[in-house]
Structure 1
């Protein structure tokens, strides 16, 4: 693993650097998605109620991602910019602040989740068997939020340093462990008791503890890019900087979570099969988006370091290449989802009603893949520049419109389930336009700022 060599993203071929960083992120995310799919596959053998239980718990996961994004995005951007300036002492201070905050937030998340588990599962559609299994799964799953936020924050900090290989290796091992443990704990293999949905949650917790142990060894014993020796105490100045960058990104995730919660409330009116289909469809979308998310993640680190180094041409060059890669990939994914949506859904459920609802979801939602990819790349540029509030404003416009329309039009006009996804497609177009206009202005301001900074004094 790369643990001691500092990685400079301010020089060298842009395309090669982008791909070199993106590939490990892609592998990490593919393995995480394989784990999610395996989780869904094994739990799916227990029936639609078990799948619905996992789908409902997935909403809370997006709320968790919001807190993770607050800490991970701010830490990544500040560390990348510090590395671009060659200010490694400041990077070490940011790293320590990020870990301390992640620990505090993770404890609060886990404790809160345990207290509200029954109410949460019931409110968002759990009933009968899906309610019972949902509570069983969630009460263990929510404990993993503490470990997940630490893993996410540390991984993002490593990416800000230009190291995407180490997080890949660690998460590859952890996800393989999770996949291996799933059937053992769910079905009671090797003489162990069959834990059902609780086994899936417990497998996640065990594998995450393993990953944290590896990170702990690399950071505290072997050393990883920066010197973290010295006192670990909260630094208000760095925390404010990190939160200024991270909070808009986190709120963006909260809006997505709210969007999903509203969707689940509306979709729950169509029954358990509809809930199961959206859970399957959403996990398929997570898999489809991986390469674009990876390219965007790599681009954010490159943009951050080059912003710190005041190299504007490398910022725009990286942005252009990342957008072209993302768009080309999304065009291919759109074609696949339009051609064989039923086959994709049927991988995870043979229930005819689940497949029918899932096909509707994929055929409509896939028409917006290019816009989704574009939004991801645009947002990553803002992250690297440390200006994340424009992304938040775009998301507010999208989600406010979606909530207002989806809670009124389908009911008023008695539209079917497909209207939910057509409304979402329409609001995504509007979000893309808002962010595109703002990004153009932000890049112009960045160019002027760097030009003035590079002019000789006097």
Structure 2
């Protein structure tokens, strides 16, 4: 296979996944765009609630790479077991975790928000938004298992179509429930949360229907996974769960640190982090494409090809995401003005946005290699590197340069940039050292 054909294979998987992810994450931007019209307090509440929700969902995040890695490896091996067995296991894990998680988080949300923010308006708005989102926790857990399954099957268009439809539902409901159009009550940030929750449930329902129609002969919901398979899912999923948990919790703490600087800084950071997520969506999609291609190659015993897929995907990520960042580097005020009104918060965000634009291409390697390593069962080293760099270096540095030295959001963002570049270096080294090449079959 020529390099051109290999690039085509990566993009054939990555582009539909990226469109699906972009459509899903566009929900966040629709919330951001519409809630931004309610003012900086609402934006700040959305920022804290968003990362808190991500921290909660980290407990089901490991299902995606676990299911994907096993399904793709089975496809490479030509495994004769029913293809939906890993999916059934992922759905079971999401069920066991999702129900108690929803109940506990719904109960403690008001007390939690009062702890992380001293602004009563932010507490009220954020609690309402987060409690609404919590209603969809189980549905999101199921959805992540389905995404892993269809990506592992190299059927990324299924993910793309469903997530686009999800985003359409969210946008329509946001318009209705935030501002009170078409006879609906004007519910503000709470309406944004309810709209997103309904959209997630809608998407999960479509995944169930489509999978039943297309894969009912492959044991979907009819065969329980065995102990060995469940252990393999947990072994792949647990490092990803803790990595997501520590990462999201770190950003909650980061927002607490930024709130010590000022509410306008929190509003600016909310927009910056959401833009960062959108920029790196293609890196996440490339990571999922790499996971499928690497797992498939390992299933065939082609270790050198698996290594090549990882590096080739990384090069594509650096090139494309650097190009995505050019408008933000050259016209930062124009980009920011889409999501926030003119004023101090926008001015504060300009230089940090340019730092994001300059570095996110290289930082895409973190996502590409990490997602791949988690999916093939070698994520422990990634978890260790992420924890040390974020919690023992970046978080203390953010507090020191921000509230302590009073260097503002720019000082915090410089520390963040250094942290992401260090993470890129160390996680790329993990891939290069290559202990993952000994990954065992399930």
**TM score, norm. by length of structure 2:** 0.92
Pair 1:339 & 2:323 matched: no
Match of 1:130 among 104, 119, 122: 122
Instruction: Check 1:314–1:13 CA distance in 2 against 1; reply closer, same or farther (3 A cut).
Output: farther
After superposition, the C-alpha distances for 1:86-131 in whole angstroms (9 at most, x for unaligned) are 1141643222111111112111221111111111222222522222
Q: Distance in 1 between matches of 2:60 and 2:351?
A: 32
Pair 1:305 & 2:296 matched: yes
Instruction: Check 1:189–1:414 CA distance in 2 against 1; reply closer, same or farther (3 A cut).
Output: closer
Q: Secondary structure at the match of 2:408?
A: coil
Instruction: Check 1:178–1:409 CA distance in 2 against 1; reply closer, same or farther (3 A cut).
Output: closer
Q: Which runs of 5+ in 2 are unaligned?
A: none
Q: Secondary structure at the match of 1:280?
A: helix
Shift of 1:357: 2.1
What does 1:30-429 correspond to in 2, within 5 Å? 30-89=22-81, 91-125=83-117, 127-223=119-215, 226-228=218-220, 230-232=222-224, 235-399=226-390, 400-429=392-421
Q: Distance in 2 between matches of 1:347 and 1:377?
A: 29
Contact 2:35–2:43, Cα closer than 8 Å, also in 1: yes
Shift of 1:302: 1.0
Shift of 1:77: 0.9
Instruction: Give the alignment's Cα RMSD to 1 decimal.
Output: 2.4
Match of 1:432 among 424, 428, 431: 424
After superposition, the C-alpha distances for 1:377-412 in whole angstroms (9 at most, x for unaligned) are 222332343211121122123112112322335455
Q: Distance in 2 between matches of 1:361 and 1:146?
A: 35
Instruction: Check 1:403–1:27 CA distance in 2 against 1; reply closer, same or farther (3 A cut).
Output: same
After superposition, the C-alpha distances for 1:141-162 in whole angstroms (9 at most, x for unaligned) are 1112221111112111111111
Contact 2:27–2:196, Cα closer than 8 Å, also in 1: no
Contact 1:68–1:149, Cα closer than 8 Å, also in 2: yes
Shift of 1:318: 1.7
Q: Secondary structure at the match of 1:245?
A: helix
Contact 2:154–2:292, Cα closer than 8 Å, also in 1: yes
Q: Distance in 2 between matches of 1:310 and 1:223?
A: 27
Instruction: Check 1:33–1:92 CA distance in 2 against 1; reply closer, same or farther (3 A cut).
Output: closer
Q: Distance in 2 between matches of 1:188 and 1:329?
A: 40
Contact 2:40–2:267, Cα closer than 8 Å, also in 1: yes
Q: Distance in 2 between matches of 1:358 and 1:185?
A: 29
Quick check: 322-331 or 423-432, which moved more? Answer: 423-432
After superposition, the C-alpha distances for 1:182-232 in whole angstroms (9 at most, x for unaligned) are 111111111222222221111112222221222222233442683326343
Q: Distance in 1 between matches of 2:52 and 2:263?
A: 19
Q: Distance in 2 between matches of 1:240 and 1:358?
A: 45
Q: Distance in 1 between matches of 2:351 and 2:417?
A: 13
Q: Distance in 1 between matches of 2:362 and 2:7?
A: 22
Q: Distance in 2 between matches of 1:189 and 1:428?
A: 42
Q: Distance in 1 between matches of 2:94 and 2:439?
A: 33
Contact 2:236–2:375, Cα closer than 8 Å, also in 1: no
Q: Distance in 2 between matches of 1:208 and 1:215?
A: 11
Contact 1:89–1:227, Cα closer than 8 Å, also in 2: no
Contact 1:44–1:50, Cα closer than 8 Å, also in 2: yes
Contact 1:251–1:392, Cα closer than 8 Å, also in 2: yes
Contact 1:126–1:134, Cα closer than 8 Å, also in 2: no
Contact 1:76–1:159, Cα closer than 8 Å, also in 2: yes
Shift of 1:13: 3.7
Q: How many residues were matched structurally?
A: 438
Shift of 1:413: 3.6
Contact 2:62–2:237, Cα closer than 8 Å, also in 1: yes
Q: Secondary structure at the match of 2:186?
A: coil
Quick check: 380-389 or 74-83, which moved more? Answer: 380-389
Q: Distance in 2 between matches of 1:321 and 1:379?
A: 15
Q: Distance in 2 between matches of 1:277 and 1:88?
A: 52
Shift of 1:328: 0.8
Shift of 1:176: 0.6
Q: Which has the larger radius of gyration?
A: 1
Shift of 1:243: 1.5
Shift of 1:238: 1.8
After superposition, the C-alpha distances for 1:295-321 in whole angstroms (9 at most, x for unaligned) are 121111111111111122431332232
